[in-house]
Structure 1
């Protein structure tokens, strides 16, 4: 996968893109990342990339020309014209695990990180997606882009080392992940559930599913409305509701 980032602050990406899973993915040649300052594409002699909005209003808007030319440049550099171009915007569609899975199937992603008050509306005509990290406003799109890149890249084959690791993550199955434990089995009176240490894999799988349903019910009940529950899941969920006195 190739990822391009258009930003006014390229140095913000130096740490996140060289450490941990992302850094290893780049070292293994599983990921090719390019970070460009779209100020370099401004035709203004002062490299200005923003201007006052027509009709008045507070703040400054990013101009269409620098971003348009930056996108054309990276298309020429990559030799590809089928990029998924993602505009980071608080008014965009909320980012989620399903979207990360969708992005992970693409060959080339482009993240456009905004700044200032907003965008010239014509910039939206240049992109394929408008995406928000959440219902709040950041000072720029950089942190959002880093988060989306991390969530996407970890789903690429061979990135995690064990491709099964991501399949049971919270949100990947539609439920929150069940509780997990490691040694020691007893730490200062806090014990690992016996079912996890008895070697009965069928009982372990049932316990994991039940606890995943319990955690989702108690913390994110809205998620259950979107899950197609099997007969077993309905039975286990009924047990959980009785145990929780719900």
Structure 2
């Protein structure tokens, strides 16, 4: 697993004293304050970096709004960010994708979540002292970004790309992109350990669904939250040709795109 993308609790514990390693807790503020958090973590709740008013593609909040969040959290562009939640990383992965899209070079997902950390390491309710920064975003260009739009998806369908639907089975049966395979994002998570499954096991699970490095992979769900987790995991495993349909099925249906229904 590539540590420049996903880090273990042991890695984070060993780097907590590094002033350039900034930990971001994306849970609701009541959880951050009332339940406790990783020492030194700042709270940037999920809803604060999600916007459904079309300010940017899909539910992205816009580069300036996101930069304002990081500025208030005392984060600089050169910092290493490690994000976590308490839901197997799915909300934190959305933060990772958003930060990458707006040009933050070094942002990583904690392997596991708050509960996984709490099993082995101390937590605190003490809020860190913050010194605001003047964060300047550097959004990726269309050529640099993994995000694709409706027209790109149409082209990928013609190329017979591997479309991966990360939703639950009832959602998949109600409507899906033509030829898509259903791969529930939670397939990569060990529920008992609250961590990702071992790398070799992940490779086997992905291969069972035809998700392999030699294929062009296009990820989608409903509103791009769940595919964020799958995207981060695939990148950490070294998958290079992975596209991220930010508009997902919500946009596809709004444009009257072709769908399949029913069980496979």
Alignment TM-score > 0.5, same fold: no
Query: Which structure has the bigger radius of gyration?
Result: 1
Q: TM-score range by the shorter chain?
A: under 0.3
